[in-house]
Amino acid sequence: MLALDRLTRFKFPEISFYRVISDVLCKHLLEPKLTKSQIFDLDTDNLKSIFEIIWNSSVKKLCNSVCNNTSLNELLKKELMITYNLSDELKNLTDINIDIVSILDLIKDIDNCPINIKRLYALKNSAKNSSPVLVREKFGLRFPVEKIVLCEGITEEILLPVFSKLAGFDFDKKGVKLISAGGKNQVAKLYCELKDELNIPIFILLDADAIEIASKINSVLRSIDKLYLIKHGEFEDIFSLNLIKRTINKRYKNICECSIADFKSDKPMTRILTEFFRIHELGDFQKAEFAKEIKANIKYKTDLTDEILYIVNEIEKLSAVCIK
């Protein structure tokens, strides 16, 4: 199951396929024993053939049967071709015929499986020739991914999908994968990697102070992609003040009570909140923890500020690659 999970995650196939295949061959190839470097030296036809034999024979031994699930393999291959910019060698390597269905039949607790495994399970149990997009939209399973949202940090990662869903655009139903780069300085580097690996569009979201980073990205921006600089500072600066007030009053109702006036200032919201937490002895203000608290309190359309709605609308407008 772990190998199937790694093989079908949203990861460039040169990483995922070679990793899974080399792990399987290192662990299960009895003769000859090969190192990972020797495995990588094999041509893709031999590599693929040995991998298929080991995978399918192992599944047969485990499940006492082998399922011919060519259609599922073909679907996954098609999605890889549409999603990623693959070399001829990678196209050949990813054209594998392995028994996925028999492994999925062993799952007892699908609710606790990764979303990519849930998606395969849903496809397996759907009517023949069901559209993968309709399956995704019915169950909110994100795959096939049709757009990328690339952002700076954890706050956007936690909250942007929630804001978007409230606005009527569900990331998981519409095939939107959000990736946090871990800081504005990493966004340009990651974008340059992704634009060469992916055929699908990318929406880049940056804080207002990332002008230099935005300039670097704009110089290599693909025509299918879009970059947006937040107009009013950082992501936290475009939150509804009422939402912030409601979140703090609910979380710290036995300690303090705040009003919207406490957060009206020309200072960045993270600085305002840091000072508020210090003055009221609430401990250190931590972005990720506060984002989780905000997430738990998002309820009303009024929690969506104009700029949040604009960002969601721009993501929705970004042309998606058609995957049927």
Strand partners, 84: 198
Domain extent, residue 262, equals 236-303
Q: Say whether both 79 and 163 belong to one domain.
A: no
Q: Say whether both 221 and 247 belong to one domain.
A: no
Q: Say whether both 134 and 37 belong to one domain.
A: yes
CATH number where 155 lies: 3.40.50
Q: Say whether both 20 and 54 belong to one domain.
A: yes
Q: Say whether both 134 and 100 belong to one domain.
A: yes
Q: Say whether both 125 and 158 belong to one domain.
A: no
Model pLDDT, residue 128: 78
Q: Say whether both 216 and 310 belong to one domain.
A: yes
Total structural domains within the chain: 3
Whether residue 126 contacts residue 101, with contact meaning beta carbons closer than 8 Å, is answered with: no
* Residue with tokens 């609430």, as numbered in its chain: 282
Q: Say whether both 298 and 309 belong to one domain.
A: no
139 or 41, greater pLDDT: 139
322 belongs to a structural domain: no
Whether residue 153 contacts residue 302, with contact meaning beta carbons closer than 8 Å, is answered with: no
Give the separation between CA 34 and CA 41, rounded to whole angstroms. Answer: 10
pLDDT in tens, 310-320: 999 999 999 87
pTM here? Answer: 0.93
pLDDT in tens, 18-68: 999 999 988 888 778 888 888 888 889 989 999 999 999 988 888 877 776
pLDDT in tens, 66-92: 776 778 889 999 999 999 999 999 999
210 belongs to a structural domain: yes
Give 200: exposed, middle or buried? Use CB within 10 Å, 0-12, 13-18, 19+: buried
What is the chain's mean pLDDT, rounded?
93
pLDDT in tens, 269-291: 999 999 999 999 999 999 999 99
